[in-house]
Amino acid sequence: MEISVVSTRPFTDQKPGTSGLRKQVSSFRRPHYLENFVQSIFDSQPMLRGSELVLGGDGRFFNREAVQIILRMACANEIRKVTVGRGGILSTPAASHLIRTRGAAGGIVLSASHNPGGPGGDFGIKFNVANGGPAPESVTGAIHAASLEVDHYRIARSPHIDIDHVGRRQAGEMEVEVVDPVHDYADLMESLFDFPAMRDLLHSGSFTMRFDAMHAVTGPYAEEILEQRLGAPAGTVMRKEPLADFGGCHPDPNLTHARELGQLMYGRGAPDFGAASDGDGDRNMILGAGFFVSPSDSLAVLAANAHLIPAYRGGLKGVARSMPTSQAIDAVADALGIPCYETPTGWKFFGNLLDDGRITLCGEESFGTSSDHVREKDGLWAVLFWLNLIAVRNQPVATIVREHWQRYGRHYYTRHDYEEIESGRADALMSRLRATFPELPGRRFGSLRVRTADDFSYRDPVDDSVSTGQGLRILFEDGSRIVFRLSGTGTMGATLRVYVERHETRTDQLDEDNQAALAALIEIAGSVADIRNLTGKDAPDVIT
C-alpha cells in the first residue's frame, strides 16, 4: 500500500487537557489539524508500532471521518492491528475495557464527552494508555511536545475501510477488526451485578424506571442491558438512538440539560428510578421519584452498600475522590476503616491508585463514578449499581439516601458554573483571589471563621509525582469549604466552577433545601472572589 509523507507545520493550540484535546469541529476540520495531533501520538508513543490499538468514539459529528483518517495513519505508522467499534462507536468505558482485555498498547477515543455536537459543536480526541485509562501527565506532555515539532505526517493512500460490519479485514500490512461495541461491555456488567435480582425487580409489576440516553452513545448499551438482558419494558430507554448532533441537545446528564427526564421524575406518577448518561457514556445522573441524588452522595452511598453487590462482597480496598468532590465518601471510608485518597480533578489521577490495588471505588462530583473494573468513569455501571442496590434493599432511592444521611450526616453541597468567561477575566479573578489568601486565615464571615486557604497540590503516593495549581480552597473551622477552579473541558473561553460544602449532623436538619442550606457560603464565595464584577455575570449559568 502506498504511503504518503505530507509536509505540515505545528499548531500551537494542541496541548491536551484533563480529557484530551477538545476544540470546535471547525478546528479539527482545518487542513492537517487532526493529522498533526494523531501523528504526535504515534511519534511520542513508539510502543504502538507493531502493537494493537483500540479506536472508537461517541458517534458525534466528524467521528466517522476521523476514524477513517486515523485508520489510514495507523497503517502508515506500522500499527499491527486496530480494533474499532462497529460504525466507529465505542463508549469511553467500553473502550477502556477492550484495551485491558485485549492487551492493546493503547487506544484513541474520539469524544468531547458532555459538550454539544453537530457541525457547530465540539469534537475531541484523547489517548488512553495500556491500562485502559486516560494518559497521565507525562504522556500528554510528550504528545504536546511532539505536536510543537511535527513537520510531517504519514498516511496511507487506501480506499475507504468498511467499519459498518463486524469482522476482520486487511489494510495493507495492518489488520482491522470491527467488533460489536456493546457485547463485551454488557458481558462485563453481567459478571459484576446480580442480574437475576434486577430482572425480578423489573418484572415485579410494582417498579418502573426510565433511562435517558440523550441521543448519545449509551443508547445501544442501555437497550441491550436494560431492555434485552434484564427484560425492562420497551421504551424504558429514552432517546436511545445515537445522533451526530445529539438531537440538537446538550448531552450533559444534569437537571438543566436532561430536562425531559427531570420533568418526568418530578411529575405526577413519576417512575421509581430515573437515570441518564452523557455523550460518551462515562457520566451518570441518578434520580428517585421527586428526588435528585448528588454525584457526591451517590459515590458515598455506593461505597457504604458495596457489600450488597456481587463484585464487591469481599470488601473495598480503599476509595478515592477528586478534591472538589464532597467529603461524604470520607465519612464512609472512616466508618469502614479503609483509606480515602483526595486527588486532583481528572480520572487519570485514579489510575495509579487502581493499578496499585489501593482503591476499589472512585468518583468525581462532575457526575462520574466507577470502580476497578475499568480505568475510566462509567455511567451505565453506576446506574446498574443503583438498580442492583434497589433490588436488594427493596427501598426507594430517597429512603436509601435519607437513611445514609441519618447515619453519616448530610454533606450539603453544590457547584455553580459560570460559563464562557473571557479567559483573561477568568485568570485575573483567580490571580486576585490567590493574592488574598495570606490574609484570610482567622478572618470571620458571620459565624464562620477561616482556618486556612491554599492552592491544592497532590503528591501521588504510587510514583511520587507532584501536581500543583489544582484549585483554590478556603477551609473553615467548622469543616465547611469553598473551592474555585477553572475547568478544562470547554472549548469557548473559560468556565469558573465554584464548589460549596458544609456538613450537617443534626438529625432534624437533614432535609433542608440544598441551596438554602448553603446560602451563607454561596454569598461568601461571590463576595471574596468578586465574581459579579470580575466575570460580568449576575448568576451562574448552571447549578448542580
Distances (CA, A) of 388 to 196, 382, 392: 10, 10, 6
- The cell numbers describing 518, all together, are 448553603
* Whole-angstrom distance, CA of residue 312 vs CA of residue 475: 34
- How far apart CA 480 and CA 449 sit, in angstroms, is 10
Closest CA to 183 of 224, 217, 233: 224
Residue 145, C-beta contacts closer than 8 angstroms, at least 6 positions apart: 44
Phi, psi of 26 (to 5 degrees): -60, -30
| Catalytic residue numbers, as ranges | 113
Spatial separation of the C-alpha atoms in residues 335 and 326, rounded to whole Å: 16
User: What gap in Å lies between CA 328 and CA 296, rounded to an integer?
Assistant: 7
What sign does the CA torsion over 525, 531, 533, 534 have?
positive
For residue 522, what is its C-alpha cell? 454561596
Cα dihedral value 179, 183, 185, 191, nearest 10: -140
CB of 540 closer than 8 Å to CB of 417: yes
Q: What amino acid occupies position 128?
A: N
Q: H/E element holding 128? A: strand 122-128
Would strands 361-364 and 368-371 be described as parallel, antiparallel, or unpaired?
antiparallel
| Of the candidates 26, 90, 132, the residue with the CA atom closest to the CA atom of residue 279 | 90
